[in-house]
Amino acid sequence: MTNRVTKPLPIKPFGGETYRLTLPSTASAAKLARDFVTSLLGVSRLHDLVEDARVCVTEVVTNAHRHTPTPLIRVHVAVSHQRVTVAVTDDGPVAPQLLHALRAGPEQDGGRGLLIVESLALAWGANTAGEQHPGRKVVWFALGRPVPDDGRA
């Protein structure tokens, strides 16, 4: 297993259009974020990514709501012709529990959400939001086709 705390992802990591949604941290945040991403993928004709995106968005937004004291959950989406990248920001630190969740055993009731994200995503990671937003954490994932060796998306 590789280290899951990664370097920050650029704002427009693979080109395309970017969108943002800010939600209160409530039980309905996951559904609202899921519907937002689903509508963007439909408009972008990336229908084959919808189900995986719905699962991953639900997991990451639900984690932000349940496991951080954040009042707001920020969803940033970059959509290109071949891929979607979703970054979810909350007011929680990149905690050891985030990495520990990847080692959930069969006896545990929860803790498998990030394993699901890892199995579906081309790439994913967690990091701090940087100097401009100290104390914020970003969990991101990318779905779609792999980047060609020449770097073109």
| pLDDT on residue 71 | 95
Residues 92-98, mean pLDDT to the nearest whole number: 61
Residues 55-70, mean pLDDT to the nearest whole number: 93
| 73: pLDDT strictly greater than 80 | yes
Strand order in the sheet with 83-90: 17-24, 72-79, 83-90, 137-144, 123-128
Residues 52-72, mean pLDDT to the nearest whole number: 94
Neighbours of 72 (CB within 10 A): 14
| 44 or 103, higher pLDDT | 44
DSSP lists the bridge partners of residue 83 as 144
**Across the chain, what does the average pLDDT equal?**
80
| pLDDT on residue 127 | 79
Task: Catalogue all structural domains in the chain, each as residue range(s) with its CATH number.
Answer: 17-144 (3.30.565.10)
pLDDT band at 16 (very low <50, low <70, confident <90, very high): confident
pTM more than 0.85 = no
pLDDT band at 134 (very low <50, low <70, confident <90, very high): low
Residue whose entry in the numeric block shows the structure tokens 């579906």: 120
pLDDT band at 147 (very low <50, low <70, confident <90, very high): low
Backbone torsions φ then ψ of 60, nearest 5 degrees: -70, -45
| 51: pLDDT strictly greater than 90 | yes
| pLDDT on residue 114 | 84
| pLDDT on residue 2 | 42
